[in-house]
Structure 1
Amino acid sequence: MGSFSIWHWLIVLLIVVMVFGTKKLKNIGSDLGGAVKGFKDGMKDGSAPDDAAKTAAAPAGQVANQQSADKTTIDVEAKQKS
């Protein structure tokens, strides 16, 4: 009475397939797999920015050049609106 035999599990599997159908079960399986993959990728990305921020810091000269370039840019859409 404590554990189920293989025949019990096969009957349960047959009933589940009859109720949901193989196409629906395939979609559920692929959705679950995609969710697990997304979770793993998110966990990898969560720890990566700390290391990447330290190694990808721009030199001071590039930052100064970028700021001066921002001052000389012209917003074309703003001129068209006026």
Structure 2
Amino acid sequence: MGSLSIWHWLIVLVVVVLIFGTKKLSNVGKDLGSAVRGFKEGINGEGEAAKPADTKPETGRVIDTAERDKR
């Protein structure tokens, strides 16, 4: 009694399609897909922003702090 059968879901789907129409439902699906894609790009881009791509670590160079403070 607590769960809905496949027939209940099919009736709900038919009612939703009749109310909203297939064109509006496809637009909602496209908008939702682009929102998820943008969210994923934002998450992936956040890690790249933390690491600058142009900087290379300098090796073999010792900087004297007294010399650095004079500048």
Q: TM-score under structure 2 normalisation?
A: 0.74
Q: How far 1:38 moved relative to its partner?
A: 0.2
Task: Tell me the equivalent position of 1:70.
Answer: none
CA RMSD of aligned residues (A): 1.3
Q: How far 1:50 moved relative to its partner?
A: 1.5
Q: How far 1:4 moved relative to its partner?
A: 0.3
Question: For residue 18 of structure 2, what is the amino acid of its counterpart?
Answer: M
Unaligned runs of 5+ in 1: 59-82
Give the ranges of 4+ consecutive aligned residues of structure 1 lying more than 4 Å apart after TM superposition: none
The structure carrying a bigger helix percent of its residues is 1
Give 3-state SS (helix, strand or coil) of 1:48's partner.
Answer: helix
How does 1:1-82 map onto structure 2 within 5 Å? 1-51=1-51, 53=52, 55-57=53-55
Q: Give the Cα separation in 2 of the matches to 1:17 and 1:24.
A: 9
* Residue-pair matches, total: 56
Q: How far 1:57 moved relative to its partner?
A: 2.3
Deviations 1:14-55 (A, max 9, x none): 00000000000000000000000000000000111112x1x4
Q: Give the Cα separation in 1 of the matches to 2:50 and 2:19.
A: 48
Unaligned runs of 5+ in 2: 57-71
Question: For residue 41 of structure 1, what is the amino acid of its counterpart?
Answer: E
Q: Give the Cα separation in 2 of the matches to 1:8 and 1:25.
A: 20
Q: TM-score under structure 1 normalisation?
A: 0.65
